[in-house]
Amino acid sequence: MEIRRRFNLGRVKPILISAYFISFSLFLWIGLMPVEAIDYNIIAELEIPAINLSSDVAELEMDNHNLRTPDYIVGGFSRSKNKTLLIGHSSTVFKDLFDLKIDDIVIYDEETFRVTNISIPRKDDINMSSVLAGGDKNTLILMTCAGKDLGHGDSTHRLIITAEAE
């Protein structure tokens, strides 16, 4: 009885309910605010039927030897006539890329490619000049993070999938 006299639940309950509704309304208002849209130059469409992937491909530009990966779509970069690098986050658009197998089909810009190689090298062992170097056959290189998470959207390894035009 003594505790009940000091702490009157009848008075506190409406305050708690009001605080809840105010907090919840504020959460919804902030969470539903429009996010500034990033205006990407869409250059193609990527489809990988084996993993139910369909994504626009944004044109990427080299910035101080770096390519900024879009958050939710694939980014594409080409320095050579016959080779295109396609990058995406392993936590979003390329989350199922690890399920691809040799001979799976990749459709890029309405051209059909077949997976010919899958590797997971250490990030420090990758020579991007050779990855981006052109060749005789039209080739796609799909790349995403793999291995141990280093934070800030980076990892110790890269999943690199090579697909050649049929």
pLDDT value of residue 48? 98
Give me the half-sphere count of Cα atoms (radius 13 Å) on the Cβ side of residue 129.
0
Q: How far apart are CA 126 and CA 119, in angstroms?
A: 11
- Segment 23-47, tens digit of pLDDT: 767 666 666 555 455 678 999 999 9
Q: How far apart are CA 87 and CA 57, in angstroms?
A: 9
pLDDT value of residue 31? 63
> What are the C-alpha distances in Å from 3 to residues 7, 8, 38?
6, 9, 57
pLDDT value of residue 20? 75
Rounded to the nearest 5°, which phi and psi values hold at 8? -90, 105
pLDDT value of residue 120? 97
| pTM score over 0.85 | no
- 149-157 contacts, C-beta under 8 A, 24 or more apart: 153/69, 153/89, 154/123, 155/90, 155/123, 156/122, 156/123, 157/120, 157/121, 157/122, 157/123
The residue assigned the tokens 């980014």 is 75
pLDDT value of residue 50? 97
pLDDT value of residue 28? 63
pLDDT value of residue 29? 61
Residues of the chain with pLDDT under 50: 1, 35
